[in-house]
Amino acid sequence: MRRILFALILLLLVTLPVAAQTSSCENVLPPRLEVGQRGVVTVETGFFLNLRAEPGLNGATVIKLADGEFFDVVAGPQCTDGLNWWQVKQFALEGWIAESAGQDYLVEPFAGDVLPTLAPLPPVSGDLPAVLLADNPATLDTDFIHWDWDQFLTDINSWYNPPDPLPVTLPDTYQGTDLPVGPFDLNDVRFVEDANLNDAQRALLAQNGFVVVPGGQAQFEHAYQMEESWNPSSGHGYWVTTDALLHALHVSFDNLLQFIETQDLHVRLSDVLKASYAAAVEQWEAVKNTDLEPAAQAAVTYYAVALGLLDPTAYDEAVSTTVRADADALISAALDGQGRLDVPFLPQYQEDFSQYKPRGHYTTGPDQEQYFRAMMWLGRITFLAKDDAQLQASLFALRALYRSSRYNDWQIVSDTLTFLVGPTDNLGPVEYLPLAQSIFGRELPAEKLGDAALLSDFRAQIQALPGPRINNVVRPIGTEVSELDDATRGFRLFGQRFTFDGYAMQRLIYPYVGVAGRERALPSGLDVAAVLGSDIAYQLLDARGDTSYEHYTENLLDLRSEVSAMNPPDWLQNAYGGWLWALQPLWARNPAQYPPLMSTEAWLLRDLQAGLGSWTELKHDTLLY
């Protein structure tokens, strides 16, 4: 416990209270490091040790060192803030680290003859069929394209109509130069000394043919911006891996999404909300003092909150004091991220307002924060079909949008998000409007929205539609599959988007996996990799016990079958799916088509990590939807 508490202090850069500070090191553990020696970090997994610019808890952090990272001791020890500090070097980085905290050492001397080895993975239990990679579409007559530059330059159409995606099919067996198979003799390798590797890293290089070392850069792209990275005089080769290309995909997609959101979607959404709010107020005025008033008023509050979150100036100008009495509290809850609270205009409905804290690229300015909160409201608040009052309120919200003259702008926003992220997974205007018009009449006359028989007919039609495939509503542990539909089926103006990885993770947790009392409550990124074809991801899941949950492997095999049945047009329906498709070759492939180096367990783990890193960037970019 002492180690955890102190590691947190180091991590969070919290200055100790005056009463806790001391300049004496009489009561700390005796030093074990020595100048000129190599050391290793031994903090608990999940915590980090700060390498600081100066000795002491107030020193600026140079980099955070994780458990198992090595360093060379340059000078020390020096007593500061009641701790022994050593000056150390890790590659090009230098700084100071504390050796111990309380009765626990945070670092220890490293015996150079000890070689870190990969923990052996258990064999896959049972049958685990491989995922079939989708064939590339055949364009330009042949599947495998050999570039003929002379022909390319003479055919001007090739410049303007390149194949998309470029069809590339690997030969059945690796056709490259014969490369040595590990372990490798580093005496036969040039430039090894230039890499400044320590003994452990050299051993891993000899064992696996590659080694991954800390880059010491705050951002991925900084390594490519350094002048020495492009100095041809060294004669070194540069190995460009998929990590760089996938990171470029993230940067391009995230910047494109931000540009579209700020330059177009924000403006259109503001127009939709202002017009829909005005239409909602008009219909509320028309049904005051009737049984329809509560439902109409609910639609007014719904649009008022969204407008207040997106455009506070327009809210101040348009929303009356009467409406603000209900809307202001909900807006404040969203701005403060207050947690689970009742939504008064929806009976027995709670919303988790902690989800409204901007994150990702939505923290870069007030416009982005406002767009985030408004779209979160419009994408999460559900008028549940099972409840009469909520169903009727959804019809008034729909009617306000339809009569606002801004339905086309709503459609453009929705279609844009469908192309970038995926189709909506919730029922919304596209599903509700034609059904409502067929039952209540084309113009949705307000008086008919109160007809009990028509309302019952409308609910029956809604219940017959496909429900959400991904549950994004927090439900109590023990909720069964049959209960999920009632808790999620209903109207959302901009529903959450369907993504295949989200669907796969949903199918690999309770209530689909596990039983009451032993539920698998949370998914893992390893689930996504395993579904898309990574056997080593499945082995890792098996090793930690995830596959022992009832129905886990059964559901995983079903999901793999779905993946194998998907073709390129299925993946490329939207940018999100295309990104998932781009990750698949990292996780599902025929070893015969690759050099031996790229078929080892170490390399497969490297590819697993590269894919999961890119997948994390994908989730970061699209977390709002």
| Torsion on CA atoms 281, 283, 286, 290, rounded to nearest 10 | -100
Six-digit token pair at 147? 């570039």
pLDDT on residue 160: 56
Res 233: pLDDT: 65
What would the pLDDT profile of 488-502 be if each residue is shown by its tens digit? 899 999 999 999 999
- Quote the pLDDT of residue 128: 58
Report the Cα 393 to chain-centroid distance in Å.
Answer: 33
CB count in 10 Å sphere of residue 158: 13
Q: Band of the pLDDT at 9, cuts 50, 70, 90?
A: very low
The answer on pLDDT for 3 being more than 50 is no
User: What is the β-pairing status of strands 83-90 and 93-98?
Assistant: antiparallel
Which residue is associated with the tokens 């923290």? 363
Question: What phi, psi does 76 have (nearest 5°)?
Answer: 130, -175
Is residue 377 within 8 Å of residue 306, measured between CB atoms? Answer: yes
Dihedral over Cα of 482, 487, 492, 496: its sign: negative
CA 332 to chain centre: 27
**Is the model more confident about 557 or about 217?**
557
Determine the Cα–Cα distance for residues 389 and 592; give it in Å rounded to an integer. 62
Partners of residue 88 on adjacent β-strands: 73, 95
CB burial of residue 400 (10 Å; 0-12, 13-18, 19+)? buried
Q: Which residues have CB under 8 Å from 420's CB, separation 6+?
A: 257, 260, 574, 575, 576, 622
Token representation of residue 340: 């689970």
Confidence of residue 138 (pLDDT cuts 50, 70, 90): very low
Using CA atoms, how far apart are residues 615 and 625, in angstroms rounded to an integer? 15
Spatial separation of the C-alpha atoms in residues 142 and 155, rounded to whole Å: 17
Task: From 542, 529, 502, select the one nearest 612 (Cα to Cα).
Answer: 529
- DSSP for 179-193 reads ---SS--GGGSTTTG
Output DSSP code: residue 218: S
Tokens describing residue 372: 């985030």
Query: Residue 135: pLDDT above 60?
Result: no
Domain boundaries, the chain: 2-16+24-109, 127-175+499-625, 177-233, 263-409+422-491
Fold (CATH) for 2-16+24-109 = SH3 type barrels. (2.30.30)
Tokens read off for 61: 């952090």
The mean pLDDT of 581-588, rounded to a whole number, is 93
> Please, what is the average pLDDT of the chain?
85
Predicted TM-score (pTM) of this structure: 0.75
Range from 48-57, 100-109, 181-190, 512-521 carrying the lowest mean pLDDT: 181-190
State the pLDDT at residue 13: 32
Closest CA to 521 of 541, 501, 549: 549
Q: Does the structure show a pLDDT above 80 at 156?
A: no
pLDDT digits 0-9 by tens, 441-490: 999 999 999 999 999 999 999 999 998 988 876 666 666 767 777 888 99
For 227, 472, 521, the CA distances from 512, given in Å and listed in that order, are: 53, 15, 10
Q: Which two tokens stand for residue 242?
A: 């998929």
What local confidence, expressed as pLDDT, does residue 130 receive?
63
| Cα(560)–Cα(553) distance, integer angstroms | 10
- pLDDT tens digits for range 363-406: 999 999 999 999 999 999 999 999 999 999 999 999 999 999 99
Residue 149 burial (CB < 10 Å; 0-12/13-18/19+)? exposed
Per-residue pLDDT at 22: 43
* Average confidence (pLDDT) over 401-430: 96
- Pairwise pLDDT comparison (494 vs 123), residue with the higher score: 494
Give residue 475's pLDDT.
63
Four-point Cα dihedral 49, 52, 55, 60, nearest 10: -130
Residues of the chain above pLDDT 90, percent: 61
Contact by Cβ (8 Å): 243, 613 = yes
The token pair at 471 is 């549950």
Of 150-154, 179-183, 268-272, give the range with the top mean pLDDT. 268-272
Which phi and psi angles does 192 have, rounded to 5°? -60, -40
What is the rounded distance in angstroms from the CA atom of residue 111 to the CA atom of residue 308? 62
Query: Could you tell me where the DSSP H helices lie in 450-517?
Result: 452-464, 481-488, 500-507
Question: Nearest 10 degrees: CA dihedral of 224, 227, 230, 232?
Answer: -160
Helix (H, G, I), strand (E, B) or coil at 357: coil
d(C-alpha 238, C-alpha 241), whole Å: 9
Buried b (16+ CB within 10 A) or exposed e, 258-272: beebbeebbebbbbb
Beta carbons of 109 and 63 less than 8 angstroms apart: no
Whether residue 177 has pLDDT greater than 90: no
Q: Which is more confidently placed, 555 or 175? A: 555
Beta bridge partners of 427: 491
Q: Which of 428, 379, 423, 417 is nearest to 264 (CA)?
A: 417
Residue 14 above 70 pLDDT?
A: no
Among 176-190, 197-211, 262-276, which range has the highest average pLDDT?
262-276
Interatomic CA distance for residues 87 and 52, integer angstroms: 9
Residue 8: CB atoms within 10 A of its CB come to: 12
Query: Above 80 in pLDDT, residue 167?
Result: no
Percent of the chain exceeding pLDDT 70 equals 83
DSSP 178: -
Say if residues 426 and 496 touch (Cβ distance below 8 Å).
Answer: yes
| Of 140 and 99, the one with more pLDDT | 99
Do 501 and 580 form a contact (C-beta atoms < 8 A)? yes
Token digits for 355?
């989800």
Give alpha helix (H) positions in 83-241: 149-154, 157-160, 199-208, 222-225
Tally the residues of the chain. Answer: 625
Give the CB-side neighbour count of residue 195, counting CA atoms within 13 A: 20
Backbone angles phi, psi at 53, to 5 degrees: -70, -35
E strands of 192-300, at which residues?
Answer: none
Cα 468 to Cα 454: distance, rounded to the nearest angstrom: 24
Would you report the helix, strand and coil content of the chain in percent, each value rounded to 5?
50, 10, 40
Which DSSP symbol is given to 261?
I
Conformation bin of residue 588: beta by default, left when phi > 0, alpha when psi is -120 to 50: beta
Q: What is the mean pLDDT of residues 130-147?
A: 48
**Selected residue with higher pLDDT from 70 and 204:** 204
CA distance 453 to 446: 15
Q: Up-side HSE of residue 20: CA atoms within 13 Å toward CB?
A: 10
pLDDT for the residue numbered 181: 76
Q: What per-residue confidence (pLDDT) applies to 101?
A: 87
